[in-house]
Amino acid sequence: MSFATAYSRMNGRPLIFRRETGMKSIEIAGRKIGPDFPPYVIAELSANHNGSIDNAFKLIAHAKNAGADAVKIQSYTADTITLDSSRPEFQIRRGLWKGKTLYQLYEQAHLPWEWHRPLFDYAHSQGITIFSSPFDSTAVDLLETLDAPAYKIASFEAIDLPLIKYVASMGKPMIISTGMANESEIEDAVNAATQGGCKDLALLHCVSGYPAPPMDYNLKTIPDLAGRFSLVTGLSDHTIDNTTAIAATALGSCIVEKHFTLDRNGGGPDDSFSLEPRDLRALVEGVRTAWEALGSVNHALKPSELENIQFRRSLYFVQTLKAGDTITHESVRSVRPGFGLAPKYFEKIVGTKVSINVEWGTPVTAEALSISLQPSQ
């Protein structure tokens, strides 16, 4: 049975509770993804090839070595994503890419289409899943020739409903990032995907800032999305470390996507907000440890506690008494270890008599008492 944390409001304050959502898992290249499985970690290659296919090969190898489940690339050209215009609205005036036009940025950042097959082949040889974000129908057509196992819709394209429907018509699993999208736009995207034929759909909560500050993430949105749409939900993380992604796992994130580079100081368009290989390994380990730690509601004794239960507090005699002597407050103490009666019996036995001789430093047992500790019938 799958559960997601949903949110309600009581007296204007958020109330966390657990409820059944009917959320089902999805599957990409044989790997099941959902609340009952370890988080699915996607290493986003993006523009971090920096114009070198050798860099792209190295990134795929490092992603595999770090334990990521998949590598994701982006499939576009400058001409398929924008116009070669210097009009004001095509110019970037702030942020990492200040001073470039959109066309210049994407001309520099795009992954050449002739690289796709070699990269897919290499990922397969390394035993790591590879798929892509297509930015128009021609990219989808290219990826279909490579038998892409899934598709990711980027946040900026989440309002491109015709593109979403076309991708959905391929019948593959889909992941949609929700950066910048409001509730209505997310619902439109989900409807477009399902109406287009997508059966396995996931949503990624995202903040489309590069980098994005952790305080903008509002991670409580993740369980809200899961409860609202009954879909597998995760995080597309653009913060500069792993804290946000690990926290998201504790809130039910089933997928974590993170940009990944060889060198954060490499000078490429996306390098500065991307993880280096050692950071990616730490991410994989961190989110999986967080997922394992969530477990389930369990008040029973844990295997790791078995050896320590003997050191819990219990009642011990701290005076030597003879049979028939009265037990006083000074006769008995609650101390470690735990071989005597539980401390809850302290007040019940004070004022009663011992039935046998007892020595200082020995545990208080039922056999040493003149009364029964069994509840009266």
Q: What count of other Cβ atoms lies within 10 Å of the Cβ of residue 156?
A: 15
Burial class from Cβ neighbours inside 10 Å (0-12, 13-18, 19+) for residue 174 reads buried
162 and 27 in a common domain: yes
Residue 304 domain-assigned? Answer: no
212 and 359 in a common domain: no
Structural domain including 80 reads 3-294
What is the per-residue DSSP string for 200-227? SEEEEEE---SS--GGG--TTHHHHHHH
220 and 116 in a common domain: yes
User: For 245-293, what is each residue's pLDDT tens digit?
Assistant: 999 999 999 999 999 999 999 888 888 899 999 999 999 999 999 999 9
134 and 57 in a common domain: yes
pLDDT on residue 22:
59
The answer to which of 58-72, 88-102, 316-330 has the lowest mean pLDDT is 88-102
| Region 314-329 average pLDDT | 98
333 and 239 in a common domain: no
153 and 25 in a common domain: yes
Residue 377 domain-assigned? Answer: no
Give the domain-ending residue among 240, 266, 294. 294
What is the per-residue DSSP string for 39-51? -EEEEE-TTTTTT
The answer to which of 19-23, 37-41, 44-48, 275-279 has the lowest mean pLDDT is 19-23
User: For 148-189, what is each residue's pLDDT tens digit?
Assistant: 999 999 999 999 999 999 999 999 999 999 999 999 999 999
CATH number of residue 321's parent domain: 3.90.1210.10
- Return the structure tokens found at 207: 């903040």
Residue 373 domain-assigned? Answer: no
240 and 106 in a common domain: yes
241 and 122 in a common domain: yes
Residue 376 domain-assigned? Answer: no
Total number of domains in the chain: 2
User: For 98-154, what is each residue's pLDDT tens digit?
Assistant: 889 999 999 999 999 999 999 999 999 999 999 999 999 999 999 999 999 999 999
Residue 303 domain-assigned? Answer: no
233 and 330 in a common domain: no
254 and 227 in a common domain: yes
Residues 6+ apart with CB under 8 A from 173: 26, 27, 28, 149, 150, 151, 198, 200, 201, 202
Q: Are strands 40-44 and 70-75 parallel, antiparallel or unpaired?
A: parallel
Residue 79 domain-assigned? Answer: yes
């015709």: which residue's tokens? 162
Letter string b/e over residues 100-113, b meaning 16 or more CB atoms within 10 A of that residue's CB: bbbbbbbbebbbee
34 three-state secondary structure:
coil
189 and 105 in a common domain: yes
